[in-house]
């Protein structure tokens, strides 16, 4: 008779054996995971895989090269100066350098697309490999299709970086530098020289508003804005025709519940139409006024520190204030949130077309030189149009999109002349 312990031992051994057989090994799991990653690649056509293999490696190299060069010129030398002159800790400098990386990657993406497509297609053209493809009846538009696909992907990636990563990383880099140098070790947001003006009707001596509502009624100035508190505040009140007031205070905060400003430790100087003046000092004074100065103070100075949502909110605030120059400027910057990524598509189209021309058998140095020239021409045109848009010489949408449309039009023109 078999003992119960022996039966239990055999059952347990059998269970372990089955469990071992059913459980996949680490090797098989790795193989399955690798196959899942690599399968989409092999689902792409053979010619497309071959062309992508020619484009992607030089693009990765170009992104790395352009980013290192731009970081060195734009940030690294300045950080070294701050380390030597201001005693910036090395760890803080490295953190600021890392936080600055996304903004320079965004600038490198379009240039890398141009250089990689120009070099890769130029090499294939010089080796007569593109000529062999054309002899099989494959059109130029089909040959450059992988480059256009990569350009569209890089356009989306650039937009994501520019709208999500760059504003946050720029703020982190700035706060890291400030805390490292010790010039501003506050935990809240800080901004200097807030100037808010308001226009509207004035009150007549009979306490009736004027029919004209375009008078300058208030000027609100604050030397600094820290932690939702206005510092060293001056308010000029011209809302009454027979009385003018100047309010000075050490600080002011906005009371949302009562829709008014609470000023602390200041004075009010009033002058009437007869020239008589009165000066009243106060420890705390409640002044009914709109929230506009607080909204203005929260708007970042640089549009590169804003996401698209924040830029649209800034546009709303500037329209509320009536600052036409800032309205035009932010409208141009909003459009540039879209046109900057589109530079990848522009450069991808132009680079692949110029590189695939059968009579362009350029070396790497010539391809790099042509890339630099095209980049300079495109960004110079963008800068000029952007300046015209800010000054009001061009509508914001035309100022931002004109270089993109012209460049794409030129690219399609060359494509039409190159065996479509």
d(CA 15, CA 33): 28
Q: What pLDDT is stored for residue 185 in this prediction?
A: 37
| pLDDT number for residue 160 | 93
pLDDT of residue 153: 95
Beta pairing partners, 255: 260
| Structure token digits, residue 416 | 């039409």
Residues, the chain: 420
pLDDT at 292: 79
Residue pLDDT tens, the chain, 420 long: 445 454 444 545 454 445 444 455 555 655 555 455 555 655 677 888 888 888 999 999 999 999 988 888 878 888 888 888 777 788 888 888 888 899 899 999 999 999 899 888 888 888 888 888 888 888 888 888 899 999 999 999 999 999 889 888 888 888 888 777 764 334 445 677 888 888 778 887 777 777 777 788 888 888 888 878 888 999 988 888 888 888 999 999 888 888 888 999 999 988 887 778 888 899 998 888 877 788 887 777 677 778 888 888 888 888 877 778 888 888 999 999 999 999 999 999 988 888 877 555 555 566 667 777 888 888 899 999 999 998 889 999 999 999 999 988 888 887 777 655
DSSP 251-266: EEEEETTTTEEEEEEE
Q: How far is CA 347 from CA 68, 73, 141, 156, 365, in A?
A: 20, 23, 15, 14, 18
The pLDDT of residue 383 is 92
pLDDT for residue 186 = 40
Structure tokens at 213: 């509502």
pLDDT of residue 363: 53
Most distant CA atoms of the chain, gap in Å: 125
Classify residue 325 by burial, with Cβ atoms within 10 Å: 0-12, 13-18, 19+: exposed
DSSP 304: G
Q: How far apart are CA 12 and CA 363, in angstroms?
A: 71
Domain boundaries of the chain, sorted by first residue: 4-40, 190-297
Task: Report yes or no: 297 and 311 within 8 Å, Cβ to Cβ.
Answer: no
């Amino acid at each position: 008779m078999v003992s119960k312990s022996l039966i239990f031992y055999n059952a347990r051994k059998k269970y372990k054996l089955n469990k071992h057989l059913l459980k996949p090994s680490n090797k098989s799991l790795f193989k399955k995971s690798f196959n899942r990653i690599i399968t989409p690649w092999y689902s792409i056509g053979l010619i497309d895989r071959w062309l992508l293999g020619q484009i992607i490696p030089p693009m990765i190299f170009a992104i790395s090269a352009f980013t290192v060069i731009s970081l060195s010129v734009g940030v690294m030398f300045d950080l070294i100066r701050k380390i030597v002159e201001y005693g910036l800790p090395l760890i803080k400098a490295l953190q600021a350098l890392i936080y600055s990386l996304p903004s320079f990657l965004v600038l490198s993406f379009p240039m890398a697309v141009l250089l990689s497509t120009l070099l890769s297609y130029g090499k294939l053209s010089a080796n007569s490999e593109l000529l062999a493809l054309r002899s099989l009846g494959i059109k130029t538009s089909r040959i450059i299709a992988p480059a256009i696909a990569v350009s569209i992907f890089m356009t989306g990636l650039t937009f994501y970086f520019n709208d999500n990563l760059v504003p946050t990383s720029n703020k982190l880099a700035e706060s890291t530098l400030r805390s490292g140098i010790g010039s501003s070790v506050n935990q809240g947001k800080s901004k200097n020289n807030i100037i808010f003006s308001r226009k509207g009707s004035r009150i007549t001596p009979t306490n009736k508003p004027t029919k004209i509502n375009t008078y300058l009624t208030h000027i609100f100035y604050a030397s600094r804005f820290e932690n939702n508190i206005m510092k060293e505040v001056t308010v000029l009140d011209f809302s009454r025709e027979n009385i003018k007031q100047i309010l000075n205070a050490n600080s002011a905060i906005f009371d949302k519940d009562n829709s008014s400003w609470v000023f602390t430790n200041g004075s009010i100087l009033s002058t009437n139409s007869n020239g008589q003046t009165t000066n009243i000092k106060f420890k705390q004074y409640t002044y009914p006024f709109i929230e506009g100065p607080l909204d203005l103070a929260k708007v970042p100075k640089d549009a590169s520190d804003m996401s698209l949502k924040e830029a649209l909110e800034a546009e709303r605030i500037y329209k509320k204030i009536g600052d036409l120059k800032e309205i035009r400027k932010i409208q141009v910057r909003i459009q540039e949130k879209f046109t900057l990524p589109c530079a990848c598509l522009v450069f991808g189209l132009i680079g692949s077309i110029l590189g695939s021309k059968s009579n362009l058998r350029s070396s790497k140095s010539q391809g790099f030189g042509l890339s630099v020239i095209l980049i300079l021409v495109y960004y110079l045109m963008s800068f000029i149009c952007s300046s015209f848009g800010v000054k009001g010489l061009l509508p914001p949408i035309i100022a931002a999109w004109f270089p993109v449309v012209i460049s794409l039009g030129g690219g399609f023109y060359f494509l039409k002349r190159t065996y479509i």
